[in-house]
Structure 1
Amino acid sequence: MTQNGDYLPRHLTSELRDALRAARVVNLIGPRQVGKTTLVRDLFDQGRFITLDDENILAAIEADPRGQLSSLADDQESGPIVIDEAQRSRKLALAMKAIVDQDRRKGQFVLTGSSNVFTTAEVADSLAGRMRTLKLWPLTMSEVSRVQPSRLIDWAMQDNPSLAQLSPARALSRKDYIELLLAGGFPEIRELPLRARQRQYRDYIDAVVDRDVADVMPIRKPDALRFLIDQMAARTAQEINTSELAKLAKLKRETVDQYLDILLRLSMVSKISAWTPGEGKRDIKQPKFHFVDTGIAAALRRLNDRSFEIGNSPQALGGLLESFVVGELQRTLPLQEGDYRLYHWRSADRREIDVVIDGGHRLVSVEVKSAATVAADDFRHLRWFATEGPGRGRSMVGLVFYLGEQVLTFGDGNFALPVSSLTSEVEL
């Protein structure tokens, strides 16, 4: 829901409908205020809604989880029972398992929450085979533009992708792209004026630390976690040295690893593992971390449109833009026809590729460039990876996303695409 009350259709709606037809329980997770409750309320107008943000309801569930859920199920004639902020209860899983084991109908419960409570050891297996988990991310460019979800990855995974299959990319200027990065993807916050928006994003982080973190894991040093969040915003699109972070935060390395896991579970950051061909011994194995929302990252770093001008911090644009593109690709993965995974790659001699999309039979290598021009030299690592590096012998397509306006081919399955191509319609 936007500030003026308009509803932005979410592309995950179709996946949510399919999940309800396939599973007895659907678990919808994602960052707070990203639109989970709005999505399920819009979709299930006949469902029964309860929220565990209500302390009285939470206390009743904790005191008698099976009795309360059974009562709700008996009273519900049609539509699912929707339990908002489900991560606040540790007793839901076993009670729900008992109910859905007796009644095997699909689509009985929909859970929403900012973290996935069902990954803890005591409940990890309780709903196996009975539940499907979906993640709702911040808005994509396509959702903001109210167009169909992009199938650009499916396009690139073809044997012979053609630029003629892509609809014309939106003509966006460098200023337009910077505004997209600064706006972020939270439906209500992104439409505020810059100053108010960034204050709201910083307040959002404080609320997550003060409230949501405790639902995942109690921590002794919230100030240290807040410091770590600031550091992750400054290091978005980088491989993270946890020993270095531990020294900066004056924490044990194990504590930093624990805090990073919390941020992952709260969908504040995402982790892209290193791609390996199996036999590549010289590849660097560290994962790369991306701040999930560039608007929040920019707010924490006090960045505005003037920050990227010559004389200030133009280099800051590169990391934010890479995280933005990774986020767009990541959010469209469930909507592609194929099953794909995102990785990054870097060798010991400093060759690197921002994203390697593995489709099993094919690879798509992706570079992100924060400039309005592109040249053959921008494909040098992609070409080496495909012809001499660990990608040789695999069918590959190389993509360079940049801030220009033209879609271009550079031969041998290599293409330069405007970042706005991530909203292009594809004819397959």
Structure 2
Amino acid sequence: MMAPIPRHLIPKVERALTSSRVVNVIGPRQAGKTTLVRDLIDSAVYVTLDADDLRSSLDSDPYGQLQLLSREGAARQLPIVIDEVQRLPDVTLALKRIVDTESRPGQFLLTGSADIFTIGRALDSLAGRVMTLTLRPLSGAEIQMRTPAAILDAVAKAPDDCLQHLPAPAAYSREAAIDLMLRGGFPEIRRLDTPDRMDRYQSYLDSVVEKDVAVVAPIRKPDVLRRLIDQLANRTANELNIASLCSALGDVRKETVNDYIDILRRLGIVHLLGAWTSAATKREVKRPKIHFMDTGIATALRGEDGDSFGLLANPTALGQVLETFVYTEVEKSLPLQSKRWTLHHYRDDKQREVDLIAQAPNRVLALFEMKASATVTNGDFRHADWFFGPGGPAEAYKGCSFVVYLGDRLLPFGPRKIALPLSMFWSF
């Protein structure tokens, strides 16, 4: 057995336990939440709601059972860890009653594949008493045992000259980058050989549909949901077109598709990347982009392996996977930056687009374009030049633009323009 990979979220969980009465760690099934908690806390009072008997006991008397656990935890000065808490949304009111009687931080540490406090059946949100943190699948930096990717911190420190704050890129090959994207970030599954890994990812999604979806919201057509997941995997990094999805699924109602996408979003299966707008023109496209949460699952559903992305293969498919991979790497890094960033994409009616825009306070932007090639030219920055240039939508903003590519050199292309090797995400 390989040793567990240290997770970058651990320091934030530790700090949350010293300041919040309830800490709520959410994330997709098998992303490593239980392992993180057991690595973080040497001893605790553990309860898992995957166990039918414990779940039934808590369901029959949530307040009484939690009160007994709370007394035990207080006597031993230990947190109460409740795993898979989303299986019992009614427990929220009992939690509120207990933590309202004592202000001690770190009383409860909850884990779940969905946020129990946003589920419709939850009886209380515990606003002001709970800190919710999200654990994503492993990042490239975690897999390579490096510190978090601080690319956005580099931009924040020097928006117009961030090159000085970027490290030398780690050595890597195109084949290694493709393998990283194909394997994905789920700790147990990513280690498997290709056929077994693809089967496990298929089984993983079947399990999510069968066990987790009903907790978030009841659905009448699980077969439609499963086919929708396949469609979204093939459309990752594309703008969300509900009408096209309805047609592909057999004229399913738009309301149904929207509801099912929202369920998948809340379970961490997909992310919706909203459009950036300058508010200066009505010609900007407002549709969000859809990104699959993990390129390992997406490529497994698409039936892709290393041969699918050979040098002679169609580069479009690899471009989509690369764009989603970079988006998820940036998204995973957000809680670890010194400033609060939001993520967007951009396109106008003249097809000028930016794959990914990160925005920080004080009108600072980081632009990311993805290129599935080992070379970059000045022409690859043409949309960024327009975006930041005279008359462009971000003319009044500070920031830097990156072209993330599959080469190995960190190259400046003039003021605020940098060719960024993919390995920069695990080079800090």
Match of 1:254 in 2: 255
Q: Deviations over 1:34-80 (max 9, x none)?
A: 10000001111221111111111111111110001000011122221
- Contact 2:92-2:124 at 8 Å conserved across structures: no
Separation in structure 2 between the aligned mates of residue 138 and residue 124 of structure 1, nearest angstrom: 29
What CA deviation, in whole Å up to 9, does each residue of 1:99-155 have, x standing for no partner?
A: 000011101001101111211356475300000110000001110111111211010
Question: Quick one: structure 1 residues 311 and 404, their matched pair in 2 at CA, closer, same or farther if it must change by over 3 Å?
Answer: closer
2:46/2:82 contact within 8 Å kept: yes
For the residue of structure 1 that corresponds to 2:157, the secondary structure is coil
Shift of 1:279: 2.3
C-alpha contact (below 8 Å) 1:19/1:26 kept by paired residues = yes
State whether structure 2 residue 26 is matched by structure 1 residue 33.
no
Question: How far is the alpha carbon of 1:312 from its aligned partner?
Answer: 4.4
Q: How does 1:329-340 map to 2 (within 5 A)?
A: 329-340=330-341
Do structure 1's residue 11 and structure 2's residue 8 form an aligned pair? yes
Aligned to 1:192: 192
Equivalent residue number for residue 93 of structure 1: 92
- Secondary structure of residue in 2 paired with 1:127: coil
**Is this contact kept in 2: 1:46–1:78, CA < 8 A?**
no
SS of the aligned residue for 2:206 comes to helix
Q: Which residue of 1 aligns with 2:45?
A: 48
Given the alignment of the two structures, is residue 267 of structure 1 paired with residue 239 of structure 2, yes or no?
no
Shift of 1:162: 4.2
Q: Could you tell me how far apart the structure 1 residues matched to 2:181 and 2:124 are?
A: 39
Number of the residue aligned with 1:223: 223
More displaced, 227-236 or 121-130?
121-130
Aligned to 1:183: 183
- The answer for unaligned runs of 5 or more in structure 2 is none
Q: Which residue pairs with 2:282 in the alignment?
A: 281
* RMSD (Å), alpha carbons: 1.3
Q: Is the 8 A contact 1:50 1:83 kept in 2?
A: yes
Aligned partners of 1:50, 1:245: CA distance in 2, in Å? 41
The letter for the 1-side match of 2:218 is P
The aligned residue for residue 413 of structure 1 is: 416
Matched position secondary structure for 1:353: strand
Asked if the contact 1:407–1:418 (Cα under 8 Å) also holds between the matched residues in 2, the reply is yes
Asked if 1:239 is matched to 2:236, the reply is no
Query: 1:165 is aligned with what amino acid?
Result: H
Asked if 2 retains the 8 angstrom alpha-carbon contact of 1:142 and 1:150, the reply is: yes
Q: Deviations over 1:257-304 (max 9, x none)?
A: 000001001101111110111223111000111001100001001101
C-alpha offsets along residues 221-253 of structure 1, whole Å, 9 cap, x if unaligned? 111100000001000011111121112213110
Deviations 1:314-334 (A, max 9, x none): 321001001100111000100
SS at match of 1:22: coil
| 1:74 maps to which of 71, 76, 89 | 71
Paired residue for 2:294? Answer: 293
Give the share of equivalent positions with the same residue, in percent.
45
2:60 corresponds to which residue? 63
Match of 2:18 among 21, 24, 30: 21
Matched, 1:385 2:382: no
Q: Which amino acid aligns with 2:53?
A: N
Paired with 2:341 and 2:104, the residues of 1 have a C-alpha distance of: 30
Aligned residue identity for 1:192 = L
Matched, 1:106 2:123: no
* 3-state SS in 1 of match to 2:24: strand
User: What corresponds to 1:156 in structure 2?
Assistant: 155
For 2:237 and 2:123, locate their aligned partners in 1 and report how far apart those are by CA, in whole Å.
Answer: 30
Rounded Cα–Cα distance in structure 2 between residues aligned with 1:125 and 1:95: 9
Residues of 2 paired with 1:185 and 1:127: CA distance?
Answer: 31
SS of residue paired to 1:277: coil
1:404 pairs, out of 397, 404, 407, with: 407
Q: Which residue of 2 aligns with 1:367?
A: 369
**For residues 389 and 219 of structure 1, what CA distance do their matches in structure 2 show?**
45
The alignment covers a number of residue pairs equal to 422
Give distance in 1, aligned partners of 2:167 and 2:397: 28
1:168 aligns with: 168
1:165-200 alpha-carbon deviations (Å, 9 max, x no partner):
322211222111110111100011111111111111
User: Which amino acid is the alignment partner of residue 240 of structure 1?
Assistant: L
Amino acid at match of 1:409: P
**Equivalent AA in structure 2 for residue 42 of structure 1:** D
Query: TM-score under structure 1 normalisation?
Result: 0.96
The one-letter amino acid paired with 1:57 is L
Contact 1:308–1:315 (CA<8 Å) still a contact in 2? no
**1:313-366 Cα shifts (integer Å, max 9, x gaps):** 432100100110011100010000011001101111100001111102211111
Residue in 2 that maps onto 1:320: 321
In the alignment, what sits opposite 1:141?
140
Amino acid at match of 1:23: S
Match of 1:205 in 2: 205
Partner amino acid, structure 2, of 1:244:
S
2:28–2:268 CA contact under 8 A, matched in 1 = yes
1:13-44 deviations in Å (ceiling 9; x for gaps): 01101111121101100011110000001111
Judging changes above 3 Å, is the alpha-carbon distance between structure 1 residues 13 and 91 closer, same or farther for their aligned structure 2 residues? same
- What is the TM-score normalised by the length of structure 2? 0.96
Where does structure 1 lack aligned partners over 5 or more consecutive residues? none
